[in-house]
Structure 1
Amino acid sequence: MTLVLFKGKPGDLIEIFRKAFQHWAIYIGKNEVVHFVLDGGLSTGLSASLSSTGKVLREKLTDVVGNDRYKVNNHLDKRRKARDPSIIVKEACAMVGHELKYSIATFNCEHFATKMRYGVGVSQQVCI
């Protein structure tokens, strides 16, 4: 997928449309994102148990997106104040390599991405 029309800015949330769910990442600039995935490189909570371990990765946006559709989606900007982009990028990059407890209900890729952007983890995909 080409990034010719991509208008993302560092600190933006990137929503990636997989077949049965959305995967979320933080754009850090230069075609790179930081995102939270299940151990084994799976970026889906659907194939995981309700609670397991995940890892924070830094990868090229094109590698993470593959052939899936994606967009910038700072969906909480009207309800929450986004942190300064330099802080978002710095803190996201500092998390790279960390292993974190993954929970589809309480800490998934969307929770991670929104925590980086807004300082609080929120997932609108999860209905508890």
Structure 2
Amino acid sequence: MATHRRSLDTRMAPTKPRLRLGDLIEISRFGYKHWAIYVGGGYVVHLALADDIAGAAASSIMCTLTEKAIVKKELLCVVAGRDKYQVNNKHDDKYRPLPSNKIVQRVEELVGQVWPYSLTSENCEHFVNELRYGVSRSDQVRPQPVSRPLDPDRSLS
């Protein structure tokens, strides 16, 4: 199985690999991964809170409390802040990526738009995978089981 990860943190590798248009960027946050897609010139596109103005804060875990996000184009260094990040095109073995020019064209058309957001079904990882592969998926979340109310007439013993 080929690996599709390229470290972009100089503490992790002596040289930085070249970013390619349409690369998926995985940013390690405390407790989760934020995802963006590289569009050239040092810029990425990602989902952020609609009312957020700071790049690194825009992808905070607080976005799990909202149902809407905005598609933003920002410098990768601003979005990542001090967090480690890497290229992670992890599904290239399973799905054929769209041509990079098509990915960038699709992404650029979405910048500034309000986008639905759900931690479990429409998060930043779903967003970038949909744009690169045409498949909306996230490996960070699993579908939640449906809970049923306890039957008060049923004994637990």
Compute the TM-score of the two structures, normalised by the length of structure 2. Answer: 0.75
Deviations along 1:25-67, one digit per CA (max 9) or x if unpaired, are 00011100011112233313x3245651100000011111110
Q: Secondary structure at the match of 2:102?
A: helix
- Quick check: which has more Rg, 1 or 2? 2
Q: Structure 2 residue aligned with 1:101, among 91, 113, 116?
A: 116
Higher strand proportion: 1
Residues of 2 paired with 1:75 and 1:33: CA distance?
18
Aligned-pair Cα RMSD in Å: 1.8
The residue type paired with residue 32 of structure 1 is: Y
Provide the C-alpha distance between the structure 2 equivalents of 1:53 and 1:102, rounded to a whole number of angstroms: 5
Q: Which residue of 2 aligns with 1:12?
A: 23
CA contact (8 A) 1:12 1:27 kept: yes
Structure 1 residue ranges, 4+ long, deviating more than 2 angstroms after superposition: 1-4, 38-42, 46-51
Map residues 66-77 of structure 1 onto 2, 5 A cutoff: 66-77=81-92
TM-score for both structures, normalised by structure 1: 0.91
Match of 2:127 in 1: 112
Counterpart residue type for residue 46 of structure 2:
H
Q: What CA distance in whole angstroms lies between the structure 2 residues aligned with 1:31 and 1:2?
A: 14
Distance, in Å, in 1 between the alignment partners of 2:118 and 2:91 is: 21
